């Protein structure tokens, strides 16, 4: 996601950018954009190596994440709190920090199950929100909560969800025979970048206080998503078999599938929709990928006519 964020801000704004990068060689921008970019080479969790080098930052986007292990609470919580506190003490106006929509309930309130049952990553993202929102500092804090992320065009890393869809493409014919309950959102990384560019310059941040913004297109049902996916692949949807919880439990027991508590919770709570998802179209600009065919094409999943 960082690749898209930097590219969008460099190309579409006149802002000066200060980037903390572990590997500056991965930065791929046209020379004319580099004049407004300062790169600090450092590991984001090593705050002592770069905080004093940041200077005055008007708006910060804290997008780095650790997906698990002992570094998860360090990167996802401690580092974000330390940066926020530093920026508040040096005249910063606004901090955007990336969490995960998985830690929120449908109405944007905190989901206690994410803390009680979540993986290391999910728990750290929950703790991050609680820690940053409870800070007694004079700086505006905006939580950003992406839903399922699609992205990975040429020259950019591919998101986990995009990889999954590419792997599933040859099996679309099999998916067409099944039906299941569930609702969810997805959003392309380029639309995340566009949304962040709009929010960085926004006079007022939409939503209530504390500011929690869920990023996603309009919610889709599992059946609609599978139908659009198979249609894009040139497959007609036959009469389907509805997958029930009882079937899942039988398969889990029969094949001795190991499930984390969080996996089981998600299987039992399949409505992952939110009341007010935000994307560029909601904020008055055109979205890059507002439908599944355009999103699939953007990450290299081939359609069939």
Q: DSSP string covering 153-164, please?
A: -TTSPPPHHHHH
Q: What is the pLDDT of residue 100?
A: 96
In a domain, 224, yes or no: no
* Cα–Cα separations (whole angstroms), residue 21 to 103, 240, 295: 27, 48, 28
* Cα–Cα separations (whole angstroms), residue 203 to 15, 75, 84, 123, 206: 16, 29, 20, 32, 10
In a domain, 296, yes or no: no
Q: Specify the DSSP class assigned to residue 242.
A: E
* Domain membership of residue 103 as a residue range: 2-159+185-219+273-290
In a domain, 139, yes or no: yes
Nearest Cα to 112, choosing from 120, 103, 121, 124? 103
- Number of C-beta neighbours around residue 216 at 10 A: 26
In a domain, 80, yes or no: yes
In a domain, 18, yes or no: yes
Domain tally for the chain? 1
pLDDT in tens, 52-102: 999 899 999 999 999 888 899 999 999 999 999 999 999 999 999 999 999
CA separation for the pair 259, 300 (Å, rounded): 31
- Which residue ranges of the chain lie beneath pLDDT 50? none
Per the CB < 8 A criterion, the answer to whether 176 and 24 are in contact is no
Q: What is the pLDDT of residue 39?
A: 93
In a domain, 215, yes or no: yes
In a domain, 46, yes or no: yes
Residue 14: which CATH number?
3.40.50.720
Q: What is the pLDDT of residue 305?
A: 60
pLDDT in tens, 163-174: 999 998 998 888
Per the CB < 8 A criterion, the answer to whether 207 and 275 are in contact is no
Q: What is the pLDDT of residue 247?
A: 62
The whole model's pTM is what? 0.92
In a domain, 67, yes or no: yes
């Amino acid at each position: 996601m960082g690749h898209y964020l930097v590219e969008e801000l460099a190309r579409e704004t006149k802002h000066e950018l200060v980037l903390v990068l572990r590997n500056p060689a991965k930065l791929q921008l046209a020379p004319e954009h580099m004049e407004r970019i300062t790169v600090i080479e450092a590991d984001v969790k090593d705050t002592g190596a770069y905080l004093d080098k940041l200077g005055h930052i008007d708006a910060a986007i804290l997008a780095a994440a650790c997906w698990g292990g002992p570094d998860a609470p360090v990167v996802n919580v401690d580092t974000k709190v330390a940066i926020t506190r530093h920026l508040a003490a040096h005249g910063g106006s606004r901090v955007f920090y990336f969490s995960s929509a998985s830690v929120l309930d449908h109405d944007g309130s905190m989901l206690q199950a994410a803390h009680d049952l979540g993986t290391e990553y999910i728990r750290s993202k929950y703790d991050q929100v609680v820690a940053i929102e409870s800070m007694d500092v004079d700086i505006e804090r905006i939580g950003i909560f992406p839903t399922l992320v699609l992205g990975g065009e040429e020259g950019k890393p591919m998101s986990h969800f995009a990889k999954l869809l590419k792997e599933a493409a040859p099996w679309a014919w099999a998916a067409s025979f099944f039906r299941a309950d569930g609702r969810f959102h997805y959003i392309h990384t380029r639309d995340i970048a566009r949304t962040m560019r709009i929010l960085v310059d926004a006079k007022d941040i939409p939503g209530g206080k504390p500011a929690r913004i869920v990023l996603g297109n309009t919610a889709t049902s599992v059946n609609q998503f599978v139908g659009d996916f198979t249609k894009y692949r040139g497959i007609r949807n036959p009469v389907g078999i509805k997958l029930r919880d009882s079937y899942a439990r039988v398969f889990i027991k029969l094949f001795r599938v190991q499930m984390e508590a969080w996996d089981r919770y998600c299987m039992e709570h399949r409505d992952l929709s939110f009341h007010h998802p935000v994307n560029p179209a909601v904020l008055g600009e055109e979205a890059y990928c507002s439908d599944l065919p355009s999103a699939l094409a953007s990450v290299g999943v081939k359609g069939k006519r």
